[in-house]
Structure 1
Amino acid sequence: MAMNYFHRLLCRSALWERTSATKIVPWALSGLDLGASALEIGPGYGANVRALRERTTTLTGVEIDPVLASRLRTRHGSTLTVIEGDGADMPLPPRQFDSVVCFTMLHHVPTVDEQDALFAEALRVLRPGGVFAGSDGLDGPVFRLMHLGDTCLPIPPDRAADRLTGVGFTDVEIETGTTSFRFRARRPEGHRAT
């Protein structure tokens, strides 16, 4: 999951953290209860940590980049449990979290199969009735320009619901904004996937 220099600078900036805390996270999670135990897939530089900690009791992050995982541990200490791992193959037991979230990172997952594996893993680690929610960017010329040299595989919002239901989620909602879309989906109460 490569990121260009500009992208790395933006994602670790105070501006991005402020944007995430005041715009991205509130819009993506509007009206949702994350419950006591939440997991963020791909926290990256940690822009969402403070905003998420206001919404849940315990927060865990699964980060694939070992340098970013170490930085998250140093920067956020006891407010975030950091697990180094791949969101498409998480080293976590099933049915552990009330909610799973991810923000502006799905397009960095390099293949459709790996994106779908990430969705399946989110379902697996959720407790029955738990919510999977987040947001991702919309494809377009400016979006592509920002991602020159990056791993960039945007998810078309009009296909997202079918892909989420395809791995077993129900109550899927997709809403498209100006530059991004948000999604919400639930693990069915009787779902027993491991």
Structure 2
Amino acid sequence: MTPDGQLAYWSSTGVAKSFTHPLDVAWLPGLPGTARIVDYGCGYGRVTGLLREHGFTAVEGVDPSPGLLARARRTHPGLAFTLLADPPHLPFPDGGVDAVLVFAVLTCIPADDDQRRLLAELTRVLRPRGLLYVSDVLLQTDARNQDRYRRGAERYGTHGVFDVGDGAVCRHHSPEHLRGLLTGYELVAERELTVETMNGNPVGALQLLARKGR
């Protein structure tokens, strides 16, 4: 799903990174505490842990990085974490999940085709009328990022893709691109906010809550 070296990055340098996209549990309306919720690309389990703290008992974090999952299990003993051996494939039956959270994940998947494959797999496992909660980074307007986008477009062929500098390749998105990934969903809510990147820089982000069709 990611360029060569990305998985190695997320099991080495990336293990120590921190993520700050906030979880708003009010965006999970009507879900009982027993709802089956998947935190896709859970990393070190921050959002998985927050969901459990808010009373959701059937929460599972999934990630392709053994290093990040080792950190998650140390930080949140007792929570369920699953290694994805063949991402984006999920070890769940069709329509078996009530909600999926995808926080700061698309930024780690630079290619359009890979992003669409991920959304197709999430759609497969979500039940009819299930919820998809996406939080990701928007295209920035400052000179530093604009320069990174220009150089990244020359190298990767996609505006918004760039080298972070320590081994990762990331992507920032237009709101239209993120909304366009949600074909077949009803957009329930959206909001723009400011978050810190994994390297501590403030950036604009977009959160989308969408409901799968019947």
Query: Does the TM-score normalized on the shorter chain lie above 0.5?
Result: yes
For 1:52-131, list aligned pairs within 5 A.
Answer: 52-53=51-52, 54-131=54-131
Q: In structure 1, how many angstroms separate the alpha carbons of the residues matched to 2:205 and 2:109? A: 16
Counterpart pick for 2:23 among 22, 25, 31: 25
Q: Tell me by how many angstroms 1:121 deviates.
A: 1.0
Counterpart pick for 2:211 among 180, 186, 194: 186
For 1:145-160, list aligned pairs within 5 A.
Answer: 147-148=164-165, 149-160=167-178
Q: In structure 2, how many angstroms separate the alpha carbons of the residues matched to 1:8 and 1:89? A: 22
Q: Tell me by how many angstroms 1:132 deviates.
A: 0.3
Gaps of 5+ in 2: 149-161, 195-203
Q: Tell me by how many angstroms 1:134 deviates.
A: 2.4
Give RMSD over aligned pairs: 2.7
The share of aligned pairs that are identical, in percent, is 29
Contact 2:100 2:122 in 1 (8 A): yes
Q: Which is higher, the Rg of structure 1 or of structure 2?
A: 2
**Quick one: structure 1 residues 63 and 6, their matched pair in 2 at CA, closer, same or farther if it must change by over 3 Å?**
closer
**Quick one: structure 1 residues 108 and 180, their matched pair in 2 at CA, closer, same or farther if it must change by over 3 Å?**
same
Question: Match of 2:120, SS?
Answer: helix
Contact 2:96 2:126 in 1 (8 A): yes
Give the match for residue 179 of structure 2: 161
Give the match for residue 186 of structure 2: 170
Q: In structure 2, how many angstroms separate the alpha carbons of the residues matched to 1:97 and 1:42? A: 16
Question: Which has a greater percent of strand?
Answer: 2
Question: Which has a greater percent of helix?
Answer: 1
Write the deviation string for residues 56-111 of structure 1: whole angstroms up to 9, x where unpaired.
22111120112222332343232224243455222322111110001112110131
Q: Which amino acid aligns with 2:23?
A: V
Q: Which amino acid aligns with 2:175?
A: P
Q: Tell me by how many angstroms 1:128 deviates.
A: 0.9
Q: Tell me by how many angstroms 1:172 deviates.
A: 5.5
Gaps of 5+ in 1: 190-194
Give the alignment's TM-score, normalised by structure 1: 0.76
**Quick one: structure 1 residues 136 and 86, their matched pair in 2 at CA, closer, same or farther if it must change by over 3 Å?**
farther
Instruction: List, as ranges, runs of 4+ consecutive aligned residues in structure 1 with deviation greater than 4 Å.
Output: 3-8, 141-146
